[in-house]
Copies of this chain bind each other. A is one copy, B any other.
Amino acid sequence: MDRYKTGIRTFPAGSDLYYQGETSDEMYTLLDGWVFRYQILEDGRRQILEFTLPGAFLGFQPNRQAPMTHSAQCITDVAACVFPSRNVFELFRANPELALRMAWITSRDWTLAQEHLTNIGRRTARERVAHLLLELFYRVRLCDPSPRGDSIELPLTQEHIGDALGLTSVHVNRTLRRLREANLVAVEGHTLRILDPDTLADIAGFDSEAVLQRPLSTEPRPLHG
């Protein structure tokens, strides 16, 4: 895989890796920083589909000539490994193991999207927020297992959270306050502390197995890095 990369590039916070509606001839392995995928409606309403962490693979679309179905924006400054998407399928044909990993990665993304669908479609604001915070907490932990403790760095605004959960940022604010008042979480600045993970998981109906989906040793690993 390394042979095909065009190099490592950095992107400033707020910039987009690619845009919905345009074709993209690059793919990315996120090395450092946070990115989110999102869709925009004509009138500006925004749905955040997923927050992606280092290790994520971005920009793959099975149909290369088709315009991207979503955009991807950097939340923080980002470092990413860039690949041309020109010859993905040839590459996959030449390296079956890569195709397998791609299937694995896409499938995991899809499972996460399903959790998000259920979260948005069938849970209350309180449950949704609790669920997202737990998801991000455990995903960040998984991504960087070193800092044991009850807090992570969370570079999101309340608007990000709202757009991911189908809520307004105002309502996210009120919901977070109530969770704070119940001594379940503490969100100060860009730090999230999970004070009562069990109660929170109970509220959220959070199943860490379903959300985290680690690869098994006998099965494919991530594409890169």
Instruction: List residues of A whose CB falls within 8 A of some B CB.
Output: 37, 39, 41-42, 45-47, 49, 60-67, 69-70, 89, 92-93, 96-97, 99-100, 102-104, 106-111, 113-118, 120-123, 163-166, 205, 209-210, 213-216, 218-220
A100-B93, A216-B65 known; A110 and B106 CB under 8 Å? Answer: yes
Name the contact of A66 in the complex, choosing from B164, B165, B213 (C-beta under 8 A).
Answer: B213
A204 to chain B, nearest CB (A): 10
Total copies of the chain:
2
Contact status B118-A47, CB under 8 Å = yes
A65 cross-chain contacts in B, Cβ below 8 A: 216
A49 CB contacts on chain B under 8 angstroms: 114, 117-118
In the assembled complex, the CB of A18 is this many whole angstroms from the nearest CB of chain B, namely 14
- Which of A65, A122, A165 counts the most chain B CB atoms within 10 A? A122
